[in-house]
Structure 1
Amino acid sequence: MKVLHLLNSNIFSGAERVAINLIKASRPEVEAVYCSPYGSIKDVLEKNNIKYLKLNRFNYKNLDKVLNEYNPDIIHAHDFKSSLLASRFSKQYKIISHIHQDPKWFKKVNLQTITYLIASNSIDKIIFVSKHTYSDFKFKKLISKKVAVIHNAIDIQKIISLSKEFQPTNFDLIYVGRFEDAKNPLEFVDLVHELKKKNKAIVAAMVGSGSLVTSISKKISKLELQNNITLTGFADNPYKYMAHSKICVIPSKNEGFSLAAIEAGVIGIPVVGNNVGGLGEVLDIIGAPKTNSFDELADKCSFLLKNLSYRKALSEKESKASQLNFSLIQLKTKIVSIYKEIAEW
């Protein structure tokens, strides 16, 4: 069976990590390739020994050329743009739409939700990464027969191994993720500023990159946090920073899931996050504290930083739950089953 994973981005982030994990997990039963516009993602794919089919531009003409050459049984499209484009090839191929996001517009009647609903008529299976994301979709009742909820999974042993790589600096708090509004990195800066009022020596790391990097740097300077916050930039291995941190903070405004939460959990780093979207669902599963306001987030972090015994207990609980619920073995069973199911239709 041949599966083409289609993504509209050319960088490495959450959905891209999931696609790579799916390709690796489905071997050897499934021959899978990665298809996207050409970009820095090529380096990650090479390291993972994954075949890369490059698009000159993300459009019908270029994808049609690639599909004619590869001739997959299934197009596994990740997120909305890829799903809309893939749906145009439904007469020739089986289509899976895999939704990783939980945007605000998803809950309303608008051009985006109506367009996706229309496209869903040409899609064989729709995968949501959390129950919450599925429940948020305005027209969920009209697509219910096609839906499967499958949580993301991670390469547990690889993450634990990478977390042991040498990294000399210890941190109280860490933020790992894109520097984009949905991930709310500016609130993390505010959090460090708030906690500094009680502990002037507090140290934090922000691992990632994105469009808000300049705004973040300016805010750090304005709040005089240059000695408190380290900006590492994008890191191939964020786990070595996680492993040297006391708390992983996830202040997102909305989330379809949260890979960072289960990655930190597996390593044994206590997670505290906002109770939004699929993130709240993940935090429930691993037994991590959820917060509903900035003040609550600050209070939870302050309490955890002061209580080593509670941090240790939380670390053990979250690590066990993350390893139990989010392994690639579980993902493989579910995803290969879906491939076989729709291939036989």
Structure 2
Amino acid sequence: MKNYLKNYKIQTPQIIISFFLIALICLAFILDMDLVVLLNESLIKLVMNGILVLSLIPMINAGAGMNFGLPVGIIGGLIGLCLAVNFRITGLFGFVMSLLFSLVICLFLGWIYGLILNKVKGREEIAGTFIGFSFIPLMNYFWTLVPFQNREMLYPIGGQGLRPKISLENYFSNVLDDMWLLQVGSLEIPVGLFAFYGLVCIFIYLFFQTKVGRATIAVGENEAFSKLSGLDISRIRLIAIIISTVIAGFGICVYSQSYGFIQLYDEPLSMAFPAISAVLIGGSTGKKAYIFEAVLGTYLLQTMYLLTIPIANEILIPELTEILRTFITYGIILYALLIKDRRGNKQ
């Protein structure tokens, strides 16, 4: 990692988005917006979305491609959150219990997901996309039929089926955001939120220092040579996929407590592409990824989203803001995927 940081070179995607961000900051200053508030929000957005981006790293480095099946891990995390709310567990303990529930569920889902991807080597990204998109409708039936008892989670009429949005206000909303808040002038730094983010980063770093972690990188770099060296390719890939799925489950738990709501039904469909775009914008080739790339890409992407909408509201008519947001979101995703293909061709 140290050698990587020494040799890291700023690439075209980072330059373009950095210039765009500088232009947005200048516009925000001209429009007399509160830059400190925007900076506060950008720090929270980094961690809210950052763990989902970090979850891509084990799979990428194992040679399993970009995890377009990210909704599999997200669903595991959502089930864990719903269980904690159904049992009415509140505060930090409630959040920790949601992580434990998510861990158990994601271990199982990741194992099934890994077995499937091992059967379609070389086509993992296509298979992951179809798995993610087909798993969501299946889970939509689950959300409508699951026999949870907490009335705050259920539709008010009929008393069956979970609501599309479940409030965490009475449970563990912002439990990490409000933990150990550090006040620097008018800037509030959520130390608890960053501590959790740091723990996930440290876990990923330490994993790749282990024997299995180094074998994972070796498999991703040269599968044929790894096989000749006696490595169990399928087992190593399976471990990486399970770890990615578990981290994705944790990621949606962190996202939901910061957002204040559990979002069910079709919401997980929209989370895979922005996460993949972030790691690509951070400098990943799509065949190898580092923690630094995930952090940088997430901050650039989320800060750009954060600044674009309020500035557009000031300059444009409100009806155009949502159109602009959608255009920018999918434009960046397309750009990130084009970068991936170009880097892959160079390699």
Say which structure is richer in strand: 1
Which TM class, normalised by the smaller chain length?
under 0.3
User: Normalising to structure 2: TM-score of the pair?
Assistant: 0.26
User: Normalising to structure 1: TM-score of the pair?
Assistant: 0.26
Higher relative contact order (CA 8 A, sep 6+): 2
